[in-house]
Amino acid sequence: MSRPSLYIGLDSSTQSLSAVVIEVHGEERRVVLQTSILFDEVLPQYGTRHGVLPQTDPAVAVSSPLMWAEALDVMMERLAHSGLDLGRIAAISGSAQQHGSVYLNASAGARLERLDSTRPLVDSVAPMLSRPVAPVWLDSSTSAECQQIAAAVGGQRTLATHTGSRAFERFTAAQIRRFHLMDPEGYAGTDRVHLVSSFLASLLIGRHSPLDPGDGSGMNLMDIASHEWWQPAVDAAAPGLHAKLPSIVPAHAVVGTVSAFWQDRYGLPPAKVVVWSGDNPCSLVGVGLVREGRIAISLGTSDTVFGLMNDPRVDAAGVGHVFGAPTGDFMGLTCFSNGSLARERVRDAYGMTWSDFARALALTPPGNEGRIMLPWFEPEITPFVARPGVRRFGISPDDAAGNVRAVVEAQSMAMALHSRWMSVEVDTIHATGGAAANPGILQVIADVFGADVWRFDVTNSAALGAALRALHADHLHHNDPIEWDDIVSRFVRPLDTIPITPDPRCNEIYRSLTNVYTACERQALSIG
Ligand code: ADP
Ligand code: XUL
């Protein structure tokens, strides 16, 4: 019988680098290792808070590419000492926070080829950077650049039709444009603009890596249908940008092998490296969504609602995004920045634990007697709110339990309202992320959507998705394809035997309350 193979999925998220290792032995497939490195704790010398470098301007969010590189070095050392038989690694792939960009100078190509395995990785990477920091998805400082790009290509609708999204502050095009405008010399000294995903893949293979359509569609630069750079948007972003962009390859492409640096430093084999992707496309397969009809709600640092779509139905003027999916289909996604963050702010304001928070939900009536909160503690992505501020309609800040219910109901109604554009008939929701541990929150979501909610134990859904992509691509490579349904069914199973089901009476209450919520949102946005 053949030896079992190992597949590694890495995920460089906002706050941590995680790895999930799966073992495949014939029909037997299982997760054999999960491990995470929290940036703030393990690499405090970079001075990040929640993975982001402190700034005086709340609209600016940048992080450190060197910190991500060092985390990769630490992770590989950890894997090398994990007891795994490294010689059995068949393929590695990865996932990374979307939209973030890393700027490398013209020496990077040659330097990637001769990374010095006797020294820490960062020593070789530092001289490659043409910009010491990387803007990340929490940045909202580029509204002017978004307007300029949209105007140059003929409007937001045209941009959305081609690239899958209207111009968004955190998307890479606007970030590149801002760098070009603020630091023309730095931009001129940039030879390659990588996404976080393609940057880390480059460090693994020892040369510039391409990127995949899933992460490419988070840039406002790629034509969502042809998977090629859309020249009008590229021209609108910054001069000479086309030559600085990586190439785009299918999500199952093998982009190289683990380079000599890693072989010499940690004894890794020259295993295949499958192109990395964004964390949302990876999570799509990591939570088992390989067909249209179900959606996932991820309750993490941010909240996201996403689902597979057979066709690229774009939200022409609105809030949603269409990305490429690892299966070759499409995915729709709406992102809310005030996710766990807002829930934590309410919890902490009343000195509660998560159990108190759950109790407060249980003690208050669904619909909260018609009272509404707009929980914009930080700048919000959906709907776009530049200047944060919490708005309360009919609810006193002194009412602890009422405020708990209000934040959860507002978030659930916003998720339902702002994912309608996907036109997916939702009867089943896969819930993931830290806050999915809270059944009270999931009950409100079930009632608002009128759908069954299943909990999945996928704290590492993006890393798992990356490992599954490595498995899928390796089999394709050997002309032995495995169906996506077959791949996910072995790894992605609900935590419970029965779902959280909607109460029809509560669903009725939320149908009318969502109209009230919509009016409150409109009023707040028009006042500013
Ligand atoms: P990330 O986006 O960083 O991967 P996670 O999915 O790990 O985030 O979620 C972490 C968040 O989960 C924490 O910030 C915390 O607010 C939230 N959380 C953890 N346990 C609970 C709970 N019982 N109820 C509500 N939220 C919770
Ligand atoms: C999606 C988005 C976030 C990041 C988080 O558009 O900005 O989900 O990918 O890592």
Residues 425-445 pLDDT 10s? 889 999 988 898 899 999 999
**Ligand 1: which of 12, 39, 301 to mutate, most ligand atoms within 8 Å of CB?**
301
Quote the CA–CA distance of 23 and 490 in Å, as a whole number. 12
pLDDT grade for 113, boundaries at 50, 70 and 90: very high
Nearest CA to ligand 2 atom 6: 335
Quote the CA–CA distance of 179 and 189 in Å, as a whole number. 12
Please enumerate in sequence order all residues whose Cβ is within 8 A of that of 341, keeping only pairs 6 or more positions apart, or say none: 301, 302, 377, 378
Ligand 1 pocket, residue 434 CB under 6 Å: yes
The pLDDT of residue 58 is: 87
The answer to whether the CB of 136 falls within 8 A of the CB of 61 is yes
Quote the CA–CA distance of 217 and 238 in Å, as a whole number. 18
Which residue in 295, 279, 325, 300 sits closest to 430, CA to CA? 295
Please enumerate in sequence order all residues whose Cβ is within 8 A of that of 344, keeping only pairs 6 or more positions apart, or say none: none
- Output DSSP code: residue 127: G
Ligand 2 pocket, residue 197 CB under 6 Å: no
Which residue in 9, 17, 166 sits closest to 92, CA to CA? 9
**Among all chains, which residue has been given the structure tokens 């785009």?**
248
Residue 387 has pLDDT above 90, yes or no: no
Mean pLDDT over residues 165-185, rounded?
A: 97
Q: How far is the CA of 220 from the centre of ligand 1 (A)?
A: 29
Mean pLDDT over residues 176-183, rounded?
A: 98
| Least confident window among 171-175, 380-384, 449-453, 517-521 | 380-384
Please enumerate in sequence order all residues whose Cβ is within 8 A of that of 149, keeping only pairs 6 or more positions apart, or say none: 159, 167, 173, 174, 177, 220, 233, 236, 237
Which residues in 380-400 are b (16+ Cβ under 10 Å) and which e?
Answer: bbbbebeeeebbbbebeeebb
- pLDDT, tens digit (0-9, with 9 covering 90-100), for 284-330: 999 999 999 899 999 988 899 999 999 999 887 688 999 999 999 99
Quote the CA–CA distance of 41 and 44 in Å, as a whole number. 6
Please state, in angstroms and as integers, the Cα–Cα distance from residue 228 to each residue in 17, 201, 240, following that order. Answer: 29, 20, 16
Q: How far is the CA of 98 from the centre of ligand 2 (A)?
A: 5
Ligand 2 pocket, residue 15 CB under 6 Å: no
Quote the CA–CA distance of 107 and 192 in Å, as a whole number. 10
Across the strands, what pairs with 402? Answer: none
Q: How far is the CA of 170 from the centre of ligand 2 (A)?
A: 9
**Among all chains, which residue has been given the structure tokens 């929980």?**
375
> Helix count (H) and strand count (E) of the chain?
20, 19
Ligand 2 pocket, residue 18 CB under 6 Å: no
Residue 1 has pLDDT above 60, yes or no: no
Percent with pLDDT over 90 in the chain: 90
The answer to whether the CB of 93 falls within 8 A of the CB of 470 is yes
Residue 456, CB-side half-sphere exposure with 13 Å CA sphere: 30
The pLDDT of residue 492 is: 87
Mapped onto helix, strand or coil, the DSSP state of residue 296 is: strand
| Least confident window among 45-59, 73-87, 237-251, 454-468 | 454-468
Which residue ranges form the domains of the chain, and what is each CATH number?
Answer: 5-281 (3.30.420.40), 288-457+497-528 (3.30.420.40)
Ligand 1 pocket, residue 433 CB under 6 Å: yes
Closest-approaching ligand to the CA atom of 283: 2
Atom index in ligand 2 nearest the CA of residue 170 equals: 7
Quote the CA–CA distance of 123 and 120 in Å, as a whole number. 6
Please enumerate in sequence order all residues whose Cβ is within 8 A of that of 359, keeping only pairs 6 or more positions apart, or say none: none
Q: How far is the CA of 85 from the centre of ligand 2 (A)?
A: 34
The answer to whether the CB of 280 falls within 8 A of the CB of 323 is yes
Mapped onto helix, strand or coil, the DSSP state of residue 451 is: coil
Please state, in angstroms and as integers, the Cα–Cα distance from residue 499 to each residue in 13, 46, 496, 507, following that order. Answer: 29, 42, 7, 16
- Output DSSP code: residue 141: -
Q: How far is the CA of 497 from the centre of ligand 1 (A)?
A: 23
The answer to whether the CB of 433 falls within 8 A of the CB of 254 is no
Quote the CA–CA distance of 505 and 269 in Å, as a whole number. 58
Percent with pLDDT over 70 in the chain: 99
**Ligand 1: which of 280, 340, 444 to mutate, most ligand atoms within 8 Å of CB?**
340
Both structure tokens of 225: 């249908």
Which residue in 75, 71, 90 sits closest to 19, CA to CA? 75
Quote the CA–CA distance of 211 and 223 in Å, as a whole number. 14
The pLDDT of residue 494 is: 85
Mean pLDDT over residues 358-362, rounded?
A: 96
Mean pLDDT value across the chain: 95
Q: Would the CA dihedral through 56, 60, 63, 65 be positive or negative?
A: negative
Ligand 2 pocket, residue 220 CB under 6 Å: no
